[in-house]
Amino acid sequence: MKYIISLAAALLLLGCSSEQKASEETTEASPAANIVETIQTKTAEVGKHVEEATQAAKEKTQKLVDEAAEGAKKVQESVTDVSQNITEEIAQTSQNIQDNVADTTEKIADELKQTTQEIQEAVATQSAVSEGDGTNLFKRKCASCHGATGEKAALGKSQIIKGWEAGKIITALNGYKEGNYGGAMKGLMASQAASLSQDDIEALAAFLSKQ
Ligand code: HEC
């Protein structure tokens, strides 16, 4: 009997201790799991915050990059505008200068042409006179009164001098110059003859004598 009791007690003790051990394990395992869970939750939360912050930073960075790009684009556009304006102004100005130069060149060319022509005409007249051809001189200074070939009585008063001998004409013109030839209107002819040189008189005489 004593033996049975002892066994029972031993069994009881054994059972208790194993029960206690098991409950101890349960209470021990529970806080650890909680801590792990808490850590996991916190880690997840921190991860989420980090992710959010990263995303926000990314968005902000993108926004800044976009703004900078926009700003740069605006600067580029205004630079393009300004350089376009300058280019147009330069083009316009150089066109104006070209036009002015062209105009001026044309004017100078015209004037030169005109002057050259006048010189040529003057030389032609001069050489005609000095060559003894009084045609031009007679046309300019005498024909208005005496007719183109001396066929008229000047102012209805003079003799018709067309075809006169050269010597007769030279005598008459020199006489008017010196005041010892002529009729009622000799004063008028004196003023006409005053500016004539001997070459002019000879040329006029040669011209009239051949008419
Ligand atoms: C404004 C008109 C007029 C012009 C221009 C003129 N004459 Fe006369 N000429 C006269 C008259 C008028 C007489 C007559 C004068 C007189 O009473 O002697 C005359 C006379 C003469 C005579 C003498 C003829 C005569 O009746 O005895 C000769 C030669 C002559 N002229 C030549 C010339 C020549 C050459 C020129 C140009 C250089 C010229 N004349 C320009 C009006 C003109």
Query: From the alpha carbon of 201, which atom of ligand 1 is closest?
Result: 35
Residue-range domain boundaries for the chain: 42-131, 132-209
Residue 185 Cα, ligand 1 centroid: separation in angstroms? 9
Note whether 126 and 203 are within 8 A (CB): no
Please state which CATH class domain 132-209 belongs to.
mainly alpha
**Structural contact between residues 163 and 198, judged by C-beta atoms closer than 8 angstroms:** no
Q: How far is CA 61 from CA 50, 70, 71, 209, in A?
A: 16, 14, 15, 113
By most ligand atoms within 8 Å of CB, the mutation choice from 165, 192, 200 for ligand 1 is 192
pLDDT digits (tens, 9 = 90+) for 10-55: 444 555 444 455 445 555 568 888 888 888 899 899 989 999 999 9
Say which range, 52-56, 132-136, 137-141, has the weakest mean pLDDT: 132-136
Name the residue with the closest Cα to ligand 1, atom 40: 142
pLDDT digits (tens, 9 = 90+) for 51-96: 999 999 999 999 999 999 998 999 998 888 888 888 898 888 888 8
